[in-house]
Amino acid sequence: MIVNVREGKLEGTTNKSVLTGKEYYSFLGIRYAKPPIGDLRFQPPVPIEKWNGILDAKNEGSPCIQYTNENIDIIGSEDCLFLNIHTPEAILLLLPSKIKIPKPVMVFIHGGAFVNGSGGSKTLGPDYLIIHDVVYVTLNYRLHSLGFLNLGISECSGNCGLKDQLLALKWIKENINQFGGDRNNITIFGESAGAISVHLHMLSPLSKGIFSKTIAQSGTALVSFSLNENPTETAFKLGRELDFVGNDPKEFVEFLKNQSAENLLKAAEKTQRLYCKELIGTASPLIFAPSIEVIKNDAFLPDHPKNLLKTAEPLPFLVGLNDKEGRLIYSVQSLQEDFSIVIKQNIPCHYSKIKELSDKVQKFYFGDKPICSETDDEISNLYTDLYFLNLYESFQYITKSNFPVYIYEFSFYGKFNVFSQRFMKNATTGASHADELPYLFYSNKFCKNISEIKEPEKTVINNICSMWTNFAKTGNPTDGMKDVEWKPSTFDNPRYLQINKDLTLKEGKIFEKRFSFLKNIYEFATEYPPK
C-alpha cells in the first residue's frame, strides 16, 4: 500500500474494523519533523527532509519518553515526532484509485496532562471512527520539560509541544489529499490536555487557516491546569533537582542539553510532585504546561488566552465535559485530614477567610454528611467543580461567537468506564475524566474481545462516533440522525446535550447551581480586606 507524499513514498498496510469488517489503510510512524535531539532540544520542530526510496510506514513510532505504570517504568524516546493516518481510501501508486469526493479529516491530539500519552492505536484505535467514512489522524508531541520548558530566551522560548502539533497539522494539510482527505475540511479534536491544545490552536495566530472545526473534550484554554503563568521560576525548580547552581538561563539551557532524556524525565517527575505539595491558590497544578512566550517573533502563545479570546477568529465548536470529572482527582483522605487545605490549594483567599470559606463549601457540597467513602459522589462533584469551573466560564466566552457552539455532558456509565472503575470502584453511575474515550476509540487494552461490545455500550459507541463525525462532515452533529436534534447553545439561550444511553437536549447550563455557588465563593474569597 504505497502513497506518494511531499517528501517521498510511504508503504502502509491494510486492516479491517473490528466492528464491521470494513477495510481501511493505515500509514504509521510517519516522521513529520527531524528528531528534536542535540542542538534541537528545546527548539521549535524542524520539518523533515525528503528521503529516497520507500519508507516503511507499517509500525508506529516511539511515543515521547514518559513514565507509565504508576511512575515506575519509563517508555518512549526523545525521538518521537511521528503521526499515524488511517483512511478508508488512498491514492495508491500500485493500485491507483480515483477519489471523487475527498473525505473529512479528523486529527486527534492526545491528553495526559502534558506529561504522558501518545497517538498510539492501543488506546486510540481507529476502528469505530473509520466506518463513518472519515480520515483519522493521530500524532505524538514532546512532553514534560522537553515540550514545555520556557526560560524566556530564544534557546528555550517555550511551547515546543504545541509547536510540534502545529507542524504536524501543516504536514497533514499539505499531504492529506494523497490519503483521500479533504485538506479544506480538517477538524482537530482532543481530550484533557489535548482539548486545551485544541482551544489554544483556535487562539494562536500561528494556527490560523489550517483547520475548520474543533472539538474539545474536558478542557479549554481557561481551565485551571491549562497555563503555567510562572514558567521561568518553575523551570529553575527543575534545575535544583539536577543540582544546577546559578540563575543564568543560557547557562541553564546548556546544562540541560547535556543531561540525558531519562534524567530530565526523572527530575521533572520529582519536581512536579514537590510543586504540588507547596501549591497554594489557583496556580496551575501542572509545572510543565503551555505558557505565554516572551520572545514574540513566531510565538505560538503571545498573550494570555483570555486576551486572545477577544480577538481570535471563531470556528464551529463542539465542547463539553463528563459529569464526574473529579473522580480522576478523587481523594477522601486529604479531605478528611484538613478540608481547609484542599480549599486553599484551589481557591485563592486571605488567610483570615479560610475557615469561613471552607465551612461554606463543605456545607454546600456535603450538608450534614460526613466526608467518607459513602459520600463519593459529593467528593467527585467538589473536585469536578474546583478543577473545571473555568471550563464553564469558557462556555460564556465561546457562546458569544457567531459560529455554532454545541455543548455536551457525557454521563453514561457502562462496561468501558475504565477510569471510574479504577478510581472509584463502587461507582455505578456517571463518567470520570476520560471515561468517554473507550466509546470513541477502539482499545484492545480495554476491550479484549469484540464479543464484549453489547448493548447499551454499542449504542453509545454508535451515537458518539456518529455525532463527532457528522460534525466533522457538515458542522451539524446530529445531521441525519433520528429522534434527536442537537441545537447550538448561545449566550442568551444556553443548552446542552446529555449523552447517556439516550440523547437528551436540555435547556440551561450544566451544573448551573454549583456554577453559581462557586462563582460567588471566588468573589467572596478575593475580597480584600475581608468583611
Mean pLDDT of 329-343: 78
Binned at pLDDT 50, 70 and 90, residue 530 comes out as: very low
Residue 531 falls inside a structural domain: no
Neighbours of 298 (CB within 10 A): 12
Which is higher by pLDDT, 150 or 521? 150
**355 and 494 fall within a common domain:** yes
**Residue 27 in contact with residue 10, Cβ under 8 Å?**
yes
**224 and 357 fall within a common domain:** no
pLDDT tens-digit profile of 315-333? Answer: 999 999 999 999 988 777 6
Question: What's the domain range around 15?
Answer: 2-229+291-311
| Measured distance CA(3)–CA(12) in Å, rounded | 8
Domain with residue 15: its CATH number is: 3.40.50.1820
**471 and 489 fall within a common domain:** yes
**296 and 385 fall within a common domain:** no
pLDDT of res. 515: 85
Residue 378 falls inside a structural domain: yes
**179 and 299 fall within a common domain:** yes
Binned at pLDDT 50, 70 and 90, residue 176 comes out as: very high
Spot the catalytic one: 192, 197, 207, 226.
192
pLDDT of res. 531: 43
Among 283, 311, 339, give the residue marking a domain's end: 311
SS (H, E, C) 306-346: HHHHHHCCCCCEEEEEECEHHHHHCCHHHHHHCHHHHHHHH
Q: How far apart are the first and last CA of the chain?
A: 71
pLDDT of res. 70: 67
The model carries a pTM of: 0.95
Peptide bond into 35 cis (omega under 30): no
Residue 496: strand pairing partners: 506
pLDDT of res. 277: 61
**357 and 297 fall within a common domain:** no
Residue 256 falls inside a structural domain: no
Quote the percentage of the chain above a pLDDT of 70.
Answer: 95
pLDDT of res. 365: 95
pLDDT tens-digit profile of 53-71? Answer: 999 999 999 999 999 866 6
Which is higher by pLDDT, 440 or 349? 440
**224 and 336 fall within a common domain:** no
Residue 241 falls inside a structural domain: no
Binned at pLDDT 50, 70 and 90, residue 436 comes out as: very high
Q: 474: exposed, middle or buried (C-beta count within 10 Å: 0-12, 13-18, 19+)?
A: middle
Total count of domains within the chain: 2
Of 133-147, 335-349, 453-467, minimum mean pLDDT range: 335-349
Residue 250 falls inside a structural domain: no
Of 350-354, 493-497, 518-522, minimum mean pLDDT range: 350-354
| Measured distance CA(292)–CA(294) in Å, rounded | 7
Residue 274 falls inside a structural domain: no
pLDDT tens-digit profile of 189-216? Answer: 999 999 999 999 999 999 999 999 999 9
Neighbours of 483 (CB within 10 A): 7
pLDDT tens-digit profile of 261-284? Answer: 999 999 999 988 877 666 544 456
Binned at pLDDT 50, 70 and 90, residue 400 comes out as: confident
pLDDT of res. 236: 94
Residue 312 has pLDDT above 90, yes or no: no
Among 252, 278, 311, give the residue marking a domain's end: 311
Tell me, yes or no, if 204 is annotated catalytic. no
**220 and 325 fall within a common domain:** no
pLDDT tens-digit profile of 372-394? Answer: 888 889 999 998 988 887 776 67
Residue 88 has pLDDT above 60, yes or no: yes
**407 and 296 fall within a common domain:** no
pLDDT tens-digit profile of 15-46? Answer: 999 989 999 999 999 999 999 999 999 999 99
**333 and 454 fall within a common domain:** yes
263-269 long-range CB contacts below 8 Å, 24 or more apart?
264/144, 264/145, 264/146, 264/238, 265/65, 265/66, 265/67, 265/74, 265/144, 265/145, 267/145, 267/238, 267/241, 267/242, 268/115, 268/144, 268/145, 268/238, 269/67, 269/71, 269/115, 269/144
**65 and 133 fall within a common domain:** yes
Residue 37 falls inside a structural domain: yes
Among 311, 345, 363, give the residue marking a domain's end: 311
pLDDT of res. 12: 97
Q: Which three cell numbers stand for residue 17?
A: 474494523
**Residue 253 in contact with residue 264, Cβ under 8 Å?**
no
Residue 254 falls inside a structural domain: no
Average pLDDT over the chain, rounded to whole?
A: 91
**325 and 202 fall within a common domain:** no
